Structure 1
């Protein structure tokens, strides 16, 4: 057989078998996803929720053997999430919420399964040792009392109280105007502090009993929030930010968002400001997970601040003196937890011995009164969401690698990790077929350094297609391994599947994302103010196109949410670079007449509206020629379904052929496993068909 014939036969075989990937997409998404990891305030016991192909249940494990025990028996892929897990102080009860979408702006009931019977959001309890699940009532965000007998929860903006064992029905604890949240029991369980949100201002209130009026602490025209009790229950610390008013300053200019920390005496009601954030842009209230992470530790008040360009932990005494930077360095601090004795903080950070730890998370600890930060984990894995046992002996976290999905784990001496529940990973999960992504970086047109993870096929074909994956958020950061967030773990699995098909995949961490400092996280002229972050997307596409073995004419793109927005912008602005794309519940129009009217008093309102329009994908329909698949669920609580309705209508008016997938009744987060699989399959099939041509 001559050389030409061999090449022809190879092409024929690839066209037939090139997509006979070693595993189906469902298998790589069938991992048991753990979340809501909590520890018992007493002993060494943990509980967590597990999503097993849409069947969400609660599991427990206890030292020293950590034998996994399944407590609940929810056996349907019905889209009902489990959240707000907590364990009573005596270790005998677990309380949780079933239902809702807590990742959306409206956390109310979800009917992703299109059930004729409307689902509810319910607070439930179950004995830690196992037994019957008890329905406490409809509501959200339960908090167990120190006596381990009662709990409070939110219902319709008011606070209810109930017996944890269901022996007495839930009833309104008290009435307070506004939407009441952020409630916490006093250390002795005799009082409750809460936040009364009244739209443009909010108060800190203390409830004692039915015969005592609610005590309002230092009420003002501001928004007070994040209250925390002193260890002895005599004082409250809280954060004060400005009240909401009509914006009359420039829309486009960066503005400082002032905030301060206050304390108040619970007995006298007297209080004062003990610390004020620097009046700089970086000193603004930190827009990170946990916000300022305010807590009253042993003899110190701890909080997070972005003032030095990185979100770090600080502590000071109760008078605001002797402030200490606890976590110096160029890294992010998140998942912050205070130990039971209130002397130590544990947290996750993207720092370690390996230079690529920039794109990982490891667990660290630091004392509340000195900068003695110490790593508790390291290596090539991802560790996040730490908790510490009630006895202070063990630290737990969620652990993943580039190949193994997330599992609960015990952190042992020397940074060793003991996995819990490894047996829950299905036998057909394609662990051995997972590739290990490589950390890369490159420059955008304006010189900005951009980061990413490159997934390469194990046996790449010459001149094969490539895919650019764009995460949402946009404040998220993708890692060199499975994400500890459910939504992005699905995308990580899809990227692994696309690699198995023969694509090279680049996951890009563009400016606006967390992990690389304030200036990267909060860039100039981003989003509706100029979409400067799109430069990173274009640079990523050009970088991919220039790689050996990649066909520059067959580079595709996909992303969801903010990633959908940037995908649409890429297809509209640069169809010659991006040959096809999938816009998953993206924001396609950043401008509306109502927005302009609301901003009318601002001196640059007209200019801001013009820039917002220019930052919108719908402004580039004339140059949008690449094949496009639009995907959206119509109960989306994060990005309005109307964004895709509008784009589809514009395409139809233009006679531009496009494809679509609509998911009735589900939300932004694919609450049903089957819908997550359907979306991933549709994305992969579309990109395969358009870029491989079969």
Structure 2
């Protein structure tokens, strides 16, 4: 049977060598059929990365690792069945990938069924060993919000927890036991985060007009709430020693407030003892429009091993990164300048952060690094390329990212001393 392999090679060659392709000729179909990567992630204790390739609607997970970063396909789903793969996570040893497959549910509690199957597909959590074998079903997800899938692997790599049906659920990654419900709290439990020692899980308990940050011990199923109020708390992140949790607090929702005119949305940064629940304020935003909680606030919040917490703020009109000592004090601006910061990720040693930014290149994003204690940010990529979604391997030797140019589609790359290097994947799809 004829395969699309030749078409993919021609397409990749065309987008990378446009001048040569103009001479040989290529089709619009070849240009539009290039695979698209997403969900780049790295293992915490192994030099391996994973991502999703969408090849003409056929979505599968790929991995690559040190030292050569030769990619290989892990899952082998066939055809465009309309079932997305998201929330991809690698176990700490990099040997197993966990992911959610299927769309969010609608108000009727059902997932999308674009193929009009008699049996409606479910959104489910799966695990697959990177060295081969069939994926293992871990349990149903069925969350009802955009990008609500949030699978979190325990530090020992044995269990995965996720929010579903308004509660938290846990399952062993080996698939040998059934999924277990962790809480029966009112409202909705989400945003689970394992403590680094693997003994507790921080999460948000959403009660609609207010929310709490709770710390749950799975074995006795005991919960400690962190300085609960009628405010809205969200975005828990753990300290490296598993003793403290930082989170963002916003005022409780006001009922019947008009949407127009737009109004400021102030916020504060708090740190709490995971044991006692006692908390104190570290940072308070201003009350101007530019002081409002930024779009990337939760994804940018990082607890470093340098005794500082990194957070995002737009108080100067641009989305920038700041760091503040866990003891408090004045925040330090890490990324000064007329540009914006996105895609923030901790380095392997948790003493610096990687991010994408249009610094010195207003039309393109590039990958940068800055220390949590300050100093001049370092550009890892530059030029007429575009890069985003940086991750660093656990040995600290390789930064990977997604990248493209004006004439080449998005692909996974690793960043070397001489620039970025394509992680070449051979995509085969039966016609």
Q: What does residue 385 of structure 1 align with?
A: 389
| Aligned-partner Cα distance in 2 for 1:166–1:291 | 31
Larger helix percent: 1
- Return the match for 2:52 from 49, 53, 56: 49
**Alpha-carbon displacement from aligned partner over 1:561-587 (angstroms, at most 9, x marks no partner):** xxxxxxxxxxxxxxxxxxxxxxxxxxx
Name the count of aligned residue pairs. 397
- Counterpart of 1:369 (choices 370, 373, 380) is 373
What is residue 239 of structure 2 aligned with on the other side?
230
> Which of the residues 62, 67, 89 maps onto 1:64?
67
Aligned counterpart for 2:159 among listed residues 142, 147, 150 = 150
Please give the alpha-carbon distance, in whole angstroms, between the structure 2 residues aligned to 1:107 and 1:156.
10
- 1:293-692 → structure 2 map (5 Å cutoff): 293-298=300-305, 299-352=307-360, 357-414=361-418, 416-421=419-424, 423-424=426-427
Check the 8 A contact 1:339/1:388 in 2, yes or no.
Answer: yes
Seen in structure 2, the aligned counterparts of structure 1 residues 212 and 99 have a Cα distance that, compared at 3 Å, is: closer
Whether 1:131 aligns to 2:133 is yes
The Cα shift of 1:266 comes to 1.7
Whole-angstrom CA distance in 1 between matches of 2:259 and 2:183: 41
Residue pairs, 1:201-280, within 5 angstroms: 201-211=210-220, 213-248=222-257, 251-280=259-288
Alignment-derived partner of residue 34 in structure 2:
31
User: What is the aligned partner in structure 2 of residue 281 from structure 1?
Assistant: 289
Q: Which runs of 5+ in 1 are unaligned?
A: 1-21, 427-694
Deviations 1:219-272 (A, max 9, x none): 111100001111111111111001112244x65334221100111112222111
Structure 1 or 2: larger strand share? Answer: 2
Asked if 2 retains the 8 angstrom alpha-carbon contact of 1:290 and 1:335, the reply is: no
- 1:195 and 1:261 map into 2 onto residues whose CA distance is 15
Deviation digits for residues 509-559 of structure 1, max 9, x if unmatched?
xxxxxxxxxxxxxxxxxxxxxxxxxxxxxxxxxxxxxxxxxxxxxxxxxxx
Segment of structure 1 superposing worse, 112-121 or 195-204: 112-121
- Assess if the C-alpha contact under 8 Å between 2:104 and 2:123 holds in 1: no
SS at match of 2:29: helix
Any runs of at least 4 consecutive aligned residues in structure 1 with deviations exceeding 4 A, and if so which?
22-25, 104-108
Name 2:8's counterpart in structure 1: none
Q: Does 1:196 align with 2:196?
A: no
In 2, Cα distance between the equivalents of 1:171 and 1:198? 22
Distance between the aligned counterparts of 2:83 and 2:124, measured in 1?
A: 10
SS of the equivalent of 1:282 reads: helix
In structure 2, the residue matched to 1:178 is 187
CA shift, 1:141, in A, is: 2.1
Q: What's the secondary structure of 1:26's corresponding residue?
A: helix
Pairwise CA RMSD = 2.1
Shift of 1:23: 5.4
Tell me if structure 1 keeps the 8 A contact 2:50–2:62: yes
Whether 1:118 aligns to 2:120 is yes
Higher mean Cα deviation, 76-85 or 25-34? Answer: 25-34
- Aligned-partner Cα distance in 1 for 2:394–2:332: 27
Aligned partners of 1:212 and 1:60: how far apart in 2?
Answer: 35
Structure 1 CA distance for aligned equivalents of residues 297 and 37 of structure 2: 20
1:92 aligns with 2:95: yes
TM superposition shift of 1:27? 2.7
SS at match of 1:358: coil
Instruction: Confirm whether residue 169 of structure 1 aligns to residue 178 of structure 2.
Output: yes
TM-superposed deviation, 1:28:
2.4
Q: CA deviation at 1:108?
A: 6.4
Do the aligned residues in 2 keep the contact of 1:44 with 1:391 (CA within 8 Å)?
Answer: yes
Shift of 1:88: 0.9
With normalisation by structure 2, the TM-score equals: 0.88
Question: 1:251/1:43 Cα in 2 relative to 1: closer, same or farther (>3 Å)?
Answer: closer
Unaligned regions of 5+ residues in structure 2, if any? 1-24, 142-148
Q: Return the alpha-carbon distance in structure 1 between the equivalents of residues 207 and 175 of structure 2.
A: 32
- Larger Rg computed on CA atoms: 1
The CA deviation at 1:421 is 2.2
Are the aligned partners of 1:238 and 1:261 in contact in 2 as well (CA < 8 Å)?
A: yes
**What is the rounded CA distance, in whole Å, between the counterparts of 1:420 and 1:220 in structure 2?**
48
- How far 1:169 sits from its partner (Å)? 1.3
Task: Find the counterpart in structure 2 of residue 7 from structure 1.
Answer: none
**Cα separation, 1, equivalents of 2:356 and 2:252:** 32
- What is the deviation of 1:109? 2.0
CA deviations on 1:419-467 (whole Å, 9 max, x unpaired) are 01254499xxxxxxxxxxxxxxxxxxxxxxxxxxxxxxxxxxxxxxxxx
Partners in 2 of 1:106 and 1:310 — Cα distance? 41
1:349, distance to aligned residue in structure 2 (A): 0.4
Quote the offset at 1:350 in angstroms: 1.0
